[in-house]
A = this chain, B = another copy of it.
Amino acid sequence: MHRTAVKKVVLEGVLDANDALAQSNRQVFDEAGNYVVNMMSSPGAGKTALLEKTLEQLRGKLRLGILEGDVQTTLDADRLARFHVPLVQVNTDSGFGGECHLDANMVRFGLSELPLPEIETLIIENVGNLVCPAEFKVGEDTRVMVYSVTEGEEKPLKYPLMFRSADLVLVNKVDLLQHLDFDLEQFLGNLDAVNPGVERILTSAKTGKGVEEWCEWLRQRRPVRQ
């Protein structure tokens, strides 16, 4: 497995460079007084729909900003534009075959387009992918994972890295539970097996369930400013 070994060394080099850039982003956030959420999930887990509800709910209560990451298109940013919050889209397709995650440099690139001092909490919506985004810090304070109950109970065991690195798991699309063979207790047991006691909120962007609790979670972490 020579190739794998070589690749590992190379990628560790890349990660070191990424960590340095993540720290530099962190300084920028600290100076502007931002609390930064790195939001990650599989494709289609419902990040954007949850953000729509979040922006609705927190209008006038928390000054949010959004950095949207996608391989291609501005579809998600277009959906959120109607809320008139500071918003920037970063497309990852200039890289190799469309990068499958945001890294610190891509985020840095997007930050220059945002009025950071006007923002209290910046939410970074990462590229939909259950593996790679977890490997790249971008300077965030916290990692929030959105998990759709349509994805099955066993995924925390099969893709432990992202579940392990999350500070909060939004268990989403619970309105569909009645139509699925999804054992919620088993899923939460698997989640605790890889990240014991991690905070979790059951949510549905469709019915609004859990959105208030999630927004309260965000408000409690609002940055303190002089």
Contact = CB atoms under 8 A, between A and B. Distances in A.
Interface of A: 1, 3-4, 7-8, 10-12, 14, 17-18, 42-44, 70-73, 75-76, 94-100, 105, 109, 127-132, 134-135, 148, 150-152, 154-155, 157-161, 173, 175-176, 179-181, 206
Given A148-B44, A152-B44, A134 B97 contact: yes
Given A3-B14, A75-B154, A176-B180, 18 more contacts: A1-B105, A3-B105, A4-B99, A7-B14, A7-B95, A8-B95, A10-B10, A12-B96, A44-B151, A70-B158, A72-B157, A73-B154, A75-B158, A97-B134, A98-B131, A100-B132, A175-B179, A181-B206
Given A17-B3, A105-B4, A150 B97 contact: no
A152 B172 CA distance: 14
Lowest 5 CB-CB distances: which A-B pairs, in order?
A44-B151, A100-B131, A150-B150, A43-B130, A11-B96
B7 A159 contact: no
Contacts of A96: 7-8, 11-12, 135
A142 to B, nearest CB: 20
Contacts of A109: 1
A151 B100 CA distance: 17
Contacts of A157: 72-73, 75
27 contacts: A3-B17, A3-B18, A4-B105, A8-B95, A10-B10, A11-B96, A42-B42, A42-B43, A43-B130, A44-B148, A44-B155, A70-B158, A71-B159, A71-B160, A71-B161, A73-B154, A73-B157, A97-B131, A97-B134, A97-B135, A100-B100, A129-B130, A132-B132, A150-B150, A175-B179, A176-B176, A176-B180
